Amino acid sequence: MARSAVIGVMGAGEGARPQDVKTAFELGRSVAREGWVLLSGGRNAGVMDAVSKGAKAEGGLTIGIVPEANKNTLSDAVDVGIVTGMGSARNNINVLSSDVVVACGFGGSGTASEIALALKSGKSVILLNNRAESREFFATLGGSLVHAAETVEDAVAAIRRLLNAA
């Protein structure tokens, strides 16, 4: 049995920009069409919610890892909620559980911590439509682990390359 790859998509919750929510939905659709499992922060807001909805629109499997100690904040588009009850310390689980990490759009400090934790654990990170300051900073930290993408297609192609190289 070959286990499906798990793609972790990180991004803003409540404060997400409309264009980032739209991109997240498209990214979720593409992840599902590739047969990958979609993993996110699980909450019913912003990028997390939209990427799960996109994946479900294509019949994909969606996993959400929430910071809360119950499923009250879990997106309706998440099939299986992992309930950590450990606040932002759960961000490290998000990245350790993902074969490739995508930071989608202008994230806040939570997303920044996930990029940093991914690099710390040696994971590749794709910055999709990220801040210029973010790309510059993380490039100085992560070197070749850090990839930039400007479209969902570019991001998916990068994920494919990274999975094949693994």
Applying CB under 8 A, the residues found at the interface with its own copies are 1, 3-4, 6, 37, 39, 56, 61, 63, 65, 69-70, 76-93, 96-97, 108-110, 112-113, 116-117, 119-121, 131, 133-134, 136-138, 140-142
Quick one: 9 or 112, whose CB is closer to its own copies?
112
Quick one: 78 or 157, whose CB is closer to its own copies?
78
Quick one: 4 or 151, whose CB is closer to its own copies?
4
Side-chain-facing half-sphere of 4: CA atoms under 13 Å: 16
Query: What is the rounded CA–CA span in Å between residue 65 and residue 49?
Result: 12
| Complete edge-to-edge strand list for the sheet that includes strand 6-10 | 80-83, 62-66, 37-40, 6-10, 100-104, 125-128, 146-149
Helix (H, G, I), strand (E, B) or coil at 60: coil
Shortest distance, position 153 Cβ to its own copies, whole Å: 26
| Alpha-carbon distances of 92 from 26, 113, 133, 141, rounded to whole Å | 25, 9, 22, 17
Shortest distance, position 104 Cβ to its own copies, whole Å: 16
Quick one: 18 or 76, whose CB is closer to its own copies?
76
Quick one: 56 or 147, whose CB is closer to its own copies?
56
Shortest distance, position 47 Cβ to its own copies, whole Å: 15
Shortest distance, position 107 Cβ to its own copies, whole Å: 9
Shortest distance, position 72 Cβ to its own copies, whole Å: 12
Query: What is the rounded CA–CA span in Å between residue 84 and residue 22?
Result: 28
Plot region of 42 (φ>0 → left; ψ -120 to 50 → alpha; else → beta): left
Helix (H, G, I), strand (E, B) or coil at 113: helix
